[in-house]
Amino acid sequence: MSATARWLEASDEVCAAALAGLPSCWAARLRALLDAHSPRDAVLLLLDRRNDAALMARMSRQTPVTLPGQWRSSLQNMRPHAIEERLGRAGVEVWLRDHPLYPKALVNDPEPPLVLFARGDAQSLDQRCVAIVGTRRATAYGRNIAKQLGADLTDAGIGVVSGLAIGIDGAAHDGVLAAGGHPVGVVGSGLNVVYPRRHTALWSRVGSEGLLLSEAGLGMAPEP
């Protein structure tokens, strides 16, 4: 079966996961692919080299001219069923903008994420939430305050959204979990790429007791 035939049978969710996992396909480039096309149509366009010039015209000037060819080669080597199985093993769902669980708070955003990867309890988004973000070089005092604030907000019935970074972010989520809350972690890497590595246990707990969200496809490192 040809690559085109394989992708014709794939769901939009699987196609979106494939696109988000392409080399250097960060959020702005993914948006350029999906602003005017469904995920499946975008994959089919990439598979035809005759579309390269039109695709490059929608990208930033810094985009390497060889990138469409690299993406095409990657897509030709991918198997949609393998991507679906990989998502299942990782416990990750793909939410497009029309997905019933897509965050309501993002619907009216001027540039909402076109694809979200989610792992955990989607009901964590139903609570009223505040974001806590701060320095990675926090003092012990700052970390203690962030942890206490996370716990206090949880006790008040308010959810906490943070980035799971070292320092204030991680401390706030530690406090939420200690108080029995359901934190929401929004991260910059694929949900199977823990960053920073020292937060492996924290990621696991947030993904099982709360919700992890990312725009990055599986296997993607944080955007530099």
Give the model confidence (pLDDT) of 112-129 as tens digits.
999 999 999 999 999 999
- Which residues of the chain form CATH 3.40.50.450? 93-214
Specify the range with the lowest mean pLDDT, choosing from 94-98, 106-110, 177-181, 183-187.
106-110
Note the pTM of the prediction, 2 decimals. 0.92
CATH of domain 93-214: 3.40.50.450
Distance CA 200, CA 136 (A): 16
Distance CA 51, CA 67 (A): 12
Question: Which three-class secondary structure state does DSSP give residue 219?
Answer: coil
Average pLDDT over residues 80-97: 97
Closest CA to 93 of 68, 70, 115, 118: 118
| pLDDT at 182 (0 to 100) | 98
Phi/psi at 120 (5° precision): 125, -150
The pairing of beta strand 93-96 with beta strand 115-120: antiparallel
Distance CA 94, CA 200 (A): 22
State pLDDT tens for residues 23-73: 989 888 999 999 889 999 999 999 999 999 998 998 888 889 999 999 999
| pLDDT at 36 (0 to 100) | 87
